[in-house]
């Protein structure tokens, strides 16, 4: 019995390690392609040809070849922010259940750890924007922190609503529980939490109607205002990190509420199916988001808290229904 238990633990550990490595590579390589796909869908919907799905990778290659420029008076925070942004997002990509239910670091694949890492990545970028001492950087950082203060509690409460019936805040346990009991996906708690988390994804990744990722107008900039002083390889890292965050959030949204296809055992076919399922689910969500953005206008900054407060209320209702209906 002990030998069987030991073999089972080794298999789970190997599955988590292999899955984590595959997830990291997949997020790094696929995130710019996902961003290119969204831009291409928006272009086609608007009647334009579009630059192609590979354009973000071409932009990253061009930026990587340029000379980095550091503004005078900036500290080490400005220099390390792009690296920290990519590193923190990559850690989430490795430990979260995207391709497999097993995690490379099971103790770290926790709701609070994952949300904290994603929030810290945003804070680091905001500190870098303030560090430049420019009006645009401070303005963008202030707006980003306002949004973050409203979004992170919503993300915590929405995913916590899913963990109530499971009895654990471990993301792998939540996904495994949904696989074991598919009816939970259609429960009121899951539906309310899904809507709340969709708003979180839109706000955290700077998409319409909260932010416009393709504008440089002073009155509308949030994310772009913080990174205006970056150039060359540093800007390439920030663009890559932002694309990775979008993929990570969409991957979490897909697997928490539509977990089917994720690998549960150490087998070649299961892992291939897990990779294919993740790509398809994230691509479909990204396409839907891009298509919806064509018909949405950016809301005024002072109306954004109302939208985020509504999503937080939905998350609270999800938790309440989880307790009463469990």
**Which ranges of 295-303 would DSSP assign to H, the alpha helix?**
none
pLDDT of 218 strictly over 80: no
**Concatenated DSSP letters of 163-183:** HHHHT--BHHHHHHHHHH-GG
> Is the Cα torsion angle 167, 22, 151, 182 positive or negative in sign?
negative
Query: How far is the C-alpha of 309 from the C-alpha of 264, rounded, in Å?
Result: 36
Q: Which helix (H) or strand (E) covers residue 36, if one does?
A: helix 2-45
Mean pLDDT of 137-145: 90
pLDDT of 299 strictly over 90: no
Quick: pLDDT tens for 52-111.
999 999 999 999 999 888 888 899 999 999 999 999 999 999 999 999 998 888 888 999
Instruction: Tell me what percent of the residues of the chain surpass a pLDDT of 90.
Output: 63
Query: How far is the C-alpha of 35 from the C-alpha of 54, rounded, in Å?
Result: 9
Segments forming the whole domain that contains residue 219: 2-325
pLDDT of 2 strictly over 70: no
> Which pLDDT does position 326 carry in this prediction?
65
Quick: pLDDT tens for 277-292.
999 999 999 999 999 9
Q: Which helix (H) or strand (E) covers residue 249, if one does?
A: helix 232-257
Assigned token pair, 271: 């892992």
Number of domains in the chain: 1
> Is the pTM higher than 0.85?
yes
Mean pLDDT of 30-55: 93
pLDDT of 9 strictly over 70: no
Mean pLDDT of 223-240: 91
Q: Quick count: other Cβ atoms within 10 Å of Cβ 119?
A: 18
> Which pLDDT does position 217 carry in this prediction?
62
């Amino acid at each position: 019995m002990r030998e069987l238990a030991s073999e089972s633990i080794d298999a789970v550990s190997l599955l988590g390690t292999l899955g984590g490595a595959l997830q990291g590579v997949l997020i790094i390589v696929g995130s710019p392609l996902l961003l290119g796909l969204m831009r291409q869908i928006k272009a086609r919907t608007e009647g334009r040809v579009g630059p192609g799905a590979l354009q973000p990778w071409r932009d990253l290659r061009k930026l990587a070849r340029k000379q980095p420029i550091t503004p005078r008076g900036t500290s080490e925070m400005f220099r390390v922010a792009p690296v920290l942004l990519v590193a923190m997002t990559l850690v989430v990509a490795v430990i979260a259940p995207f391709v497999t239910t097993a995690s490379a670091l099971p103790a770290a694949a926790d709701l609070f750890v994952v949300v904290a890492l994603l929030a810290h990545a945003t804070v680091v970028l905001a500190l870098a924007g303030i560090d430049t001492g420019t009006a645009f950087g401070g303005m963008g950082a202030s707006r980003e922190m306002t949004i973050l203060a409203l979004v992170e509690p919503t993300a915590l409460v929405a995913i916590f609503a899913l963990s109530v019936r499971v009895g654990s805040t471990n993301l792998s346990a939540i996904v495994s529980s949904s696989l074991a009991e598919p009816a939970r996906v259609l429960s009121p708690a899951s539906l309310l939490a899904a809507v709340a988390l969709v708003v979180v994804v839109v706000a955290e990744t700077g998409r319409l109607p909260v932010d416009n990722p393709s504008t440089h107008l002073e009155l509308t900039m949030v994310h772009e205002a913080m990174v205006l002083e970056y150039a060359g390889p540093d800007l390439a890292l920030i663009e890559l990190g932002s694309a990775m965050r979008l993929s990570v959030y969409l991957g979490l949204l897909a697997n928490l509420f539509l977990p089917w296809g994720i690998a549960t055992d150490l087998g070649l076919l299961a892992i291939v199916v897990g990779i294919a399922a993740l790509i398809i689910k994230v691509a479909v969500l990204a396409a839907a988001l891009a298509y919806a953005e064509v018909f949405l206008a950016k809301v005024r900054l002072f109306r954004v808290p109302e939208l985020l407060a509504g999503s937080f209320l939905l998350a609270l209702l999800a938790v309440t229904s989880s307790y009463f209906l469990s």
